Amino acid sequence: MLQLYALSLSSRLLLGSARYPSPAILKDAVRAARTEVVTVSLRRESSGERAGQGFWSLIRELGVHVLPNTAGCHSVKEAVNTAHMAREVFGTAWIKLEVIGEDDTLQPDVFGLTEAARILCAEGFEVFPYTTEDLVVAERLLAAGCRVLMPWGSPIGSGRGLNNPFALSALRAHFPQVPLIIDAGLGVPSHAARALELGFDAVLINTAIARARDPVQMAAAFAHAVEAGRAARLAGAIEPRDMAEPSTPVMGTAFRP
Residues annotated catalytic, as ranges:
96
SS3 49: coil
CA distance 148 to 141: 9
Least distance to another protein, CB of residue 10, Å: 22
Nearer to another protein, 48 or 240 (CB): 48
Closest by CA position to 225, among listed 161, 156, 150: 161
Nearer to another protein, 88 or 239 (CB): 88
CA-CA-CA-CA torsion sign (95, 96, 100, 103): negative
Nearer to another protein, 25 or 142 (CB): 25
Nearer to another protein, 17 or 35 (CB): 17
CA distance 69 to 40: 6
Least distance to another protein, CB of residue 196, Å: 20
Least distance to another protein, CB of residue 18, Å: 4
* Residue 117 contacts residue 146 (beta carbons within 8 Å): yes
CA distance 127 to 89: 17
Least distance to another protein, CB of residue 158, Å: 13
Least distance to another protein, CB of residue 204, Å: 8
DSSP of 79-112: HHHHHHHHHHHH--SEEEE--EEETTTTEE-HHH
CA distance 86 to 95: 8
- Where along the sequence are the contacts to another protein (CB under 8 A)? 16-20, 26, 39-48, 50-53, 55-56, 59, 68-69, 71, 77-78, 81, 84-86, 88-90, 156-157, 204, 206-207
Taking CA atoms, 231 is separated from 157, 171, 251, in Å, by 27, 20, 32
CA distance 49 to 46: 5
